[in-house]
Structure 1
Amino acid sequence: MDFRLTDDQQALRRGVRALLDRRFDRTALRAAVDAGGVLDRELWRELGAAGFFALRLPEEAGGVGLGLPEAVLLFEEAGRALLPGPLVATHLAAGEVPGAAEGEVVVTAVDEGGLVEWLDEADVVLGSVEGAVAVRSVDPLTPLHRLPGTGPADAALRPVAGLLTAAEQVGSAARTTELAVAHARTRAQFGQPIGGFQAVKHLCAQMLVRTEVARVAVYAAAVTADPVEIAGARLLADEAAVGCARDCLQVHGGMGFTWEADVHLHLKRAWVRAERGGSGAAAEEAVAAAL
């Protein structure tokens, strides 16, 4: 079996990256941070028009008619760009909630850990939010509410949600690896780029390995759609996103900790994503049970 991306899949990924580069560049990212939890509805509709939410709907239902492998590519690009909003919930609601597929309606959901993203901006909330209270989110691009206890969990959608979240994490890990390598090539100390120092080389190499291992696990799980493989991929992706962001901070040195650098945004989003769906504990239990 050939697991390499097809020409159509590569074109899909390039198209999504071009859209996000045009509509959600660094200037737009920083504007979103400054906006403090206000969703860009025009961008949301553009995503809908591009088929981001309707990607897996059958063509006869107005969708694109593609599958999980293609959805993973889209969400990987979204994670790379730090695209804000309840992307996973709206994607999963396409075809079930009118307007979700087209990006006219923003859908959020209560996960089994009791967290709700973007509650104040959502048009539709899947699951009861009675008693939900706002919590201070470490990520300025992901406003959060929490329910007492735990929320409901849709057994059919939970693995898919976990896989798409893992894809976002892989995209973020890849981006922080790119940022670290670019900085190592241009930042000079003692008369040479810091990328020439062995310690920095090792950090960047470890980041690349961590990202690629997680990526192939996510791609394979997208092909098999096996819940246990998805759980394993999710664990690797969470580790890659958090670990690469931390290593990227190390490569950047003191400037990496400043608000002006984007590295901290990737680390904070990785932390929040790792808690989505009740954190990695459920994935660990799934893998352990299978073993």
Structure 2
Amino acid sequence: MDFRLTDDQKALKAGVRELLTGRFDRDALRAAVDSPGLDRALWRELGAAGFFALRLPEEAGGVGLGLPEAVLVFEEAGRVLLPGPLVATHLAAGTVDGAAEGEAVVTAADGAFVEWLEAADVVLGDVEGAVPVRSVDPLTPLHRLPVGAHPYPPPRTSSWPEATLLTAAEQVGSAARTTETAVSYARTRQQFGQPIGAFQAVKHLCAQMLVRTEVARAAVYAAAVTGDPVEIAGAKLLADEAAVDCARDCLQVHGGMGFTWEADVHLHLKRAWVRAERGLSKAQAAEVEAAAL
């Protein structure tokens, strides 16, 4: 069997990257950090581009593609740290009015937290008693749900594998971006008269980042084809590890510069921490794997 991307899938991936690079570049990212809030105009542009209606049938006004294509799109969103409840709105397309077109922002109670509660037009699940908490990620506002108010699984139980897989795809995109960032920095940063990428320790870090990213990407792509919940749980474990550890290694490659607010590395690390608790957490994914074994 040939598991390489088709020409149409490559074109979709390239088109989404071009859209997001042009509409949410680094300047837009830093502006969003400085002035947090959901960009409604961008949300509608995503809707017009078919981001949310990607998997709706064409007769229902959608694009008519499948889960593998959605994974490619969400991977690109993860690369640029696109903010907002993307997964919840995507899953609500076709069932919540305005979600497919980007006119409605949809969020959902997930485990102990709900993202973007105050910005959402529609909230899925019981969020009564939710209180705002300081989020480690400046681009992901969080509310904590009361203990026992809404235990896992999320309200749309039948959609948890899809929500988990799309989150894993975002993690893969972030891991790929931090890997590329580390390699680029290692090629240009000079120390002792040569690029730091010439030093064995830095080479090993970058090589490990690439391996983590490619293994996680293969697992996510495979799970998108099979749709198997156990494979999705395994893919989420690998993607979370790749996103968090690659961000940490990228920070290490940058040295002291990586710890500054001006560097973007910390934004990838913080978003990876938040995503790791979305859908299936590490403990929950491990339980799914263990039960299958």
Shorter-normalised TM range:
over 0.9
Q: 1:120 aligns with which of 111, 118, 121?
A: 118
- Is the 8 Å Cα contact of residues 114 and 278 (structure 1) preserved in structure 2? no
Runs of 5+ unmatched residues, structure 1: none
Q: 1:265 aligns with which of 264, 267, 272?
A: 267
Give the 5 Å matches for 1:30-109: 30-36=30-36, 38-109=37-108
- Is the 8 Å Cα contact of residues 132 and 146 (structure 1) preserved in structure 2? yes
Measured after TM superposition, the shift of residue 214 of structure 1 is 0.1
The SS at the match of 1:101 is: coil
Matching residue of 2:216 = 214
Measured after TM superposition, the shift of residue 226 of structure 1 is 0.1
The SS at the match of 1:268 is: helix
Measured after TM superposition, the shift of residue 148 of structure 1 is 1.1
Give the 5 Å matches for 1:164-183: 164-183=166-185
The C-alpha deviation readout for 1:254-282, integer Å capped at 9, x for no partner, is 00000000000000000000011252111
Which letter maps to 1:42? A
Q: 1:249 aligns with which of 225, 232, 251?
A: 251
The C-alpha deviation readout for 1:162-181, integer Å capped at 9, x for no partner, is 00000000000000000000
Give the 5 Å matches for 1:196-215: 196-215=198-217
Matching residue of 1:285 = 287
The SS at the match of 1:250 is: helix
Runs of 5+ unmatched residues, structure 2: none
TM-score (norm 1): 0.98
Measured after TM superposition, the shift of residue 155 of structure 1 is 2.3
The C-alpha deviation readout for 1:117-153, integer Å capped at 9, x for no partner, is 0001000000121100001100000000011125252
Structure 2 CA distance for aligned equivalents of residues 63 and 277 of structure 1: 25
Which letter maps to 1:54? A
Q: Give yes or no for the alignment of 1:7 onto 2:17.
A: no
- Is the 8 Å Cα contact of residues 117 and 144 (structure 1) preserved in structure 2? yes
Structure 1 CA distance for aligned equivalents of residues 227 and 125 of structure 2: 25
Structure 1 CA distance for aligned equivalents of residues 194 and 112 of structure 2: 50
Structure 2 CA distance for aligned equivalents of residues 155 and 287 of structure 1: 18
Computed over aligned residues only, the root mean square deviation of the Cα atoms, in angstroms, reads 0.8
Q: 1:145 aligns with which of 143, 158, 169?
A: 143
Structure 2 CA distance for aligned equivalents of residues 177 and 109 of structure 1: 31
TM-score (norm 2): 0.98
Measured after TM superposition, the shift of residue 250 of structure 1 is 0.3
- Is the 8 Å Cα contact of residues 85 and 107 (structure 2) preserved in structure 1? yes
- Is the 8 Å Cα contact of residues 92 and 157 (structure 1) preserved in structure 2? yes
- Is the 8 Å Cα contact of residues 79 and 171 (structure 1) preserved in structure 2? yes
- Is the 8 Å Cα contact of residues 233 and 280 (structure 2) preserved in structure 1? no
Structure 2 CA distance for aligned equivalents of residues 224 and 276 of structure 1: 21
Which letter maps to 1:98? D
Q: Give yes or no for the alignment of 1:130 onto 2:132.
A: no
Structure 2 CA distance for aligned equivalents of residues 278 and 169 of structure 1: 13
Identity %: 83
Which letter maps to 1:6? T
Structure 2 CA distance for aligned equivalents of residues 123 and 33 of structure 1: 22
Structure 1 CA distance for aligned equivalents of residues 162 and 32 of structure 2: 27
Matching residue of 2:189 = 187
After TM superposition, the structure 1 stretch with the greater mean CA deviation from structure 2, 128-137 or 271-280, is 271-280
- Is the 8 Å Cα contact of residues 231 and 286 (structure 1) preserved in structure 2? yes
- Is the 8 Å Cα contact of residues 119 and 144 (structure 1) preserved in structure 2? yes
Measured after TM superposition, the shift of residue 114 of structure 1 is 2.2
Structure 1 CA distance for aligned equivalents of residues 67 and 7 of structure 2: 17
Matching residue of 2:22 = 22
